[in-house]
Amino acid sequence: MSGIAQRHRPHVVVVGGGFAGLWATRALASADVRITLVDRRNHHLFQPLLYQVATAGLSAPDIAAPLRHILRRQRNVEVRLGEVVGLDAASRTVALADGDALHYDQLLLASGATHAYFGHDDWAAHAPGLKTLDDALAIRRRLLLAFERAEATDDPAERAAWLNFAVVGGGPTGVELAGTLAEIARHTLRDEFRRIDPADARVRLIEAGPRVLASFPESLSAKARAQLERLGVEVVTGAPVESIDAAGYVLRGVDGATTRVDARTVLWAAGVAASPLGALLDAPRDRAGRVQVAADLSVPGHPEIFVAGDLAGVQLDGRAVPGVAPAAKQMGAHVAAAIRARLAGRAAPAFRYRDFGNLATIGRMAAVVDLHGFKLSGLLAWWFWLAAHVFFLIGFRNRIIVLVNWAWAYWSYQRHARIILDPPDDDD
């Protein structure tokens, strides 16, 4: 090794290769640091399209790219497949599950969020959530098997229970899942079954609050509801789920009365909690587990530790920065700038969030868009949503494949990834 390589360059450890971690890493490409990016998975995931994998419109590799491949030309980065299990801020050390330890000079924790079942962890087995590719494939398998089970049984009650689908949570993920599920039942599976009519499936979207897409203006929530209903989704608001088990769920209606519904497929899109890694820090966290960071996104008392993305709880002008991809990217880029400033002996600037607006897709040719008061809904919003998402897939060469798949799915109503892996057991 040359003498230059031997001298100490600050070591930046980035935990998590999602939007925040990856954007921070890339923004440090020309910095005089060495970076270790640690992730439990070998890929970066384009999470906004994850519901398309769950509903068999896209393959898993269409929306994921190996972190090593994305970063192969950035010579100051080492990618490490591994799980962080410990953090010692005093010795500036991160412990990995395989026994290794990484010493850091600057640390970015960006391990994202997971599902939360509001204290009902037993619901997880019956109502899977959607955060990872494994989650998406598990949901895909459940959806496809439900129609198979309905076709195989002769018992009308059991058949109805298999054709009863519920999505809990009326945020963007719940709306996407319910809208696409209705399309699958009404169009994709047409002609494929002989004993059932898949269009008989009931798809219900359940929201405990008063309206779906609560982060949008009320008029767009109403439009989203109308579009969902046009797609065949039954929308229930103001009705919290009381319990979920293997056979169905119990709903508390607006009148306070509870109803039991037999439904074999319940999907969870209601609660999000920050990654448990936040608990490794000696820092205050909010109810959802998000670390309450300082203005520069560092942890109070630990200027060498930053938190970004869904793990960070950031309040700006009295409003929480939302847990969306653009916010995570901006936080990641900010942390890179803060680290550069520190290394140059300057104070780190405060994080500013640039809100470009809010968009959500609902289903075929249906979406809502809110750009600071400029509102769109329906077909035009859907085209806007599509263009934005294809544009942001840049960096993945999979863009072409995703476009071809989408064009095909659009014209044919077909979803090419309807493959059940793992031969199903009888107790499925």
Give DSSP secondary structure letters for 319-342.
EEPPSSHHHHHHHHHHHHHHHHHH
Q: Which of 199, 295, 404, 410 binds a second copy (CB under 8 A)?
A: 404
Does 347 sit near a second copy (CB under 8 A)? no
Does 264 sit near a second copy (CB under 8 A)? no
Does 217 sit near a second copy (CB under 8 A)? no
Residue 18 DSSP one-character state: S
**Shortest Å, Cβ 413 to a second copy:** 11
- Cβ closer to a second copy: 68 or 285? 68
**Shortest Å, Cβ 126 to a second copy:** 21
Does 421 sit near a second copy (CB under 8 A)? yes
Q: What count of Cα atoms within 13 Å lies in the side-chain half-sphere of residue 398?
A: 21
B/e letters for 16-43, b = 16+ CB within 10 Å, e = fewer, are: bbbbbbbbbbbbbeebebbbbbbbebeb
**Shortest Å, Cβ 113 to a second copy:** 16
**Shortest Å, Cβ 41 to a second copy:** 6
The residue count for binding a second copy (CB under 8 A) is: 59
**Shortest Å, Cβ 377 to a second copy:** 32
Give DSSP secondary structure letters for 87-122.
EETTTTEEEETTS-EEE-SEEEE---EEE--TT-GG
**Which residues, other chains included, contact 413 with Cβ-Cβ below 8 Å and sequence gap of 6+?**
183, 187, 188, 190
Does 319 sit near a second copy (CB under 8 A)? no
Q: Contact 43/64 with Cβ under 8 angstroms?
A: yes
Given the residues 78, 83, 176, 218, the one annotated as active site: 176
Rounded Cα distance between 339 and 314, Å, is 18
What is the pattern of x (binds a second copy, CB under 8 A) and - over residues 184-203? -----xxxxxxx--------
Q: Contact 70/23 with Cβ under 8 angstroms?
A: no
**Cα angle for residues 55, 57, 59 (degrees, 5° grid):** 100
Q: Which of 32, 88, 98, 282 binds a second copy (CB under 8 A)?
A: 98
Please indicate whether residue 192 is annotated as part of the active site.
no
Quote the strand ranges of 10-158, DSSP E.
Answer: 11-15, 34-39, 43-45, 64-66, 77-81, 84-88, 93-96, 101-103, 106-109, 113-115
Q: Contact 367/382 with Cβ under 8 angstroms?
A: yes
Q: What count of Cα atoms within 13 Å lies in the side-chain half-sphere of residue 123?
A: 22
Does 422 sit near a second copy (CB under 8 A)? yes
Does 287 sit near a second copy (CB under 8 A)? no
B/e letters for 370-392, b = 16+ CB within 10 Å, e = fewer, are: beeeebbbbeebbebbbebbeeb
- Cβ closer to a second copy: 258 or 412? 412
Q: Which of 72, 103, 260, 346 binds a second copy (CB under 8 A)?
A: 72
Q: Which of residues 108-137 bind a second copy (CB under 8 A)?
A: 133-134, 137
- Cβ closer to a second copy: 275 or 377? 275
**Shortest Å, Cβ 236 to a second copy:** 31
Does 397 sit near a second copy (CB under 8 A)? yes
**Shortest Å, Cβ 147 to a second copy:** 9
Footprint of a second copy (CB under 8 A): 40-43, 56, 59-62, 64-66, 68-69, 72-73, 78-83, 97-98, 100, 133-134, 137, 144-145, 148, 151-152, 189-195, 397-398, 400-401, 404-405, 408, 412, 414, 416-424, 426
Query: What residues are annotated to the active site?
Result: 176
